[in-house]
Structure 1
Amino acid sequence: MKTRTLHEIHTEGMDALLKALGPVDMIRFLQMFDEGKGDYTKERKTWLKKDVHEISREIRDMKKKQLI
């Protein structure tokens, strides 16, 4: 039995996943093992400029304007 390199094992594994799952589900499967990076709890404050109450208030205001 020939010992395969890590590259060969990786390539055969990826080929097997592609054959068994198809390209889309193969990517979805591989994404399950990605831990991501950063700290979502701290960083979301920079992404979300408004809090839930402010967004809710804006939705109510928009609904009122559409009813007039």
Structure 2
Amino acid sequence: MTTITDTEVKQKGLGALLDALGEVDAERFITLLNRDPFDYTTWQRNLFENMDINQISKKAMELKKGA
């Protein structure tokens, strides 16, 4: 696995948000994250709490196909 720079992470992350949500809702998502005290790690753990790696992978592939 190749390590990417922080700038590349931000660029790819923003691109993913724009692709998934469109400009308006991507901005809304960023605003929501900035508005509230937010612990991404806790949120992510709760998001995938009841899923094993195969379920997460399957969901990701379904989302990728729909994009």
Report the TM-score when normalising by structure 2: 0.49
Larger Rg: 1
More helix by share: 2
- Structure with higher RCO (Cα < 8 A, 6+ apart): 2
Report the TM-score when normalising by structure 1: 0.48
